[in-house]
Amino acid sequence: MKYSVLILFCFSLNLVFSQKYFQERYKSFDKRLFHFGFMLGTNTSDFTKYEKLDVYNKQYQFYNALYSLQAIKNNPTIGGQLGILTTLKLGTPLLKLRFMPTLSFEERVLSYTFEKITAFDTLIYLKDQRVNSTNLSFPFILMFRAKRLNNFTAYALLGGSYSIDLQSQENSAQNFTDPFLKIRKNDFQGQIGGGLEFFATYFKFAVELKYSHGVRNVLIQEQTPFDRPIEKLYNKGWWISIIFEG
C-alpha cells in the first residue's frame, strides 16, 4: 500500500512541475453547476479494536475449558471499490459538494492466539476471524479546491458516509460449536482526505487518498471466545482512487 502511494505521489509531482509547458485545457469545466463521473480504486480495511482490560487474567472457553487467550492481532487486507460521482458547485469553483454512491469489497481479519495447558506441555493455537463485507456506501463530502494552475489543481476532502453491508451476518444464528465474529450491518463513518486533479482536453481525472473511520461500535456481543475479549470494534480503512469527470 505504501509503495503505491509513493509511486502515485512521484507521478503527480512530475505532472505538477511540467504544467508550465502546457496550454490550459478544458477551461469550461468550472463554469458548470453539476459534474458527473465515476471512480475506480483499491482499499485497505481494518478494525480499531478496544480490548477488555482484564482479558488476559481470565480463562475463556475455546472448545475446551483449558484454553485461554494470549493475544489478538489486526491483519489489514486489500480490497477494491467502484463508484458513480455527482459534484455540485457551491457558488464558487473552490467549494463543491460531492455525492458518490460506492460499492466496495472489503475483508478485515483478527488473528487470535490461544494457549492450552496440559500436564506435559503448553500448546499454542492460532485462529483467524475473517469478516468479509460488500458495502454499499452513500458519502456526502465537502471538497475544498486550490486555485487552478494551468492544467492542475489540488483539493482537500471532509465529510461523512452511511454504509450498508450487503454481506452482513447480523441476523444469522450463531454457531457456538464453530463461532464467528458478528458485525452490525449498518455503519456511519467520518472521512478525510485529499487529491490532485489533472485536466485533459475533454475530461478531468484525479488521484485521491482518503481515510475513513467508523463512529459506531459495530461489534455484536454474543459471548463467544472471539467477541468476549473485545469491548468495541470500529471499521476503518484507507482508500486510493482514480476519478474521471466530464
Structure confidence by residue, pLDDT tens digits, 104-151? 999 999 998 887 776 677 777 788 899 999 999 999 999 999 988 888
Give me the mean pLDDT over the 5-28 stretch. 55
What is the average pLDDT score of the chain? 84
Cα distances (angstroms) measured from residue 48 to each of 11, 40, 51, 72, 212: 32, 25, 10, 12, 11
Q: Is the pTM of this model over 0.85?
A: no
Give me the mean pLDDT over the 221-233 stretch. 88
Q: How confident is the model at residue 1 (pLDDT cuts 50, 70, 90)?
A: low
Contacting residues for 87 by C-beta, under 8 A, at least 6 apart: 34, 35, 36, 37, 96, 97, 98, 99, 143, 245
Per the DSSP assignment, residues forming a β-bridge with 25 are none
- Indicate if the pLDDT at residue 65 is higher than 60: no
Angle at 141 between CA 135 and CA 145, to 5 degrees: 135
- Indicate if the pLDDT at residue 76 is higher than 50: yes
CATH architecture for the domain at 2-245: Beta Barrel (2.40)
d(CA 230, CA 224): 10
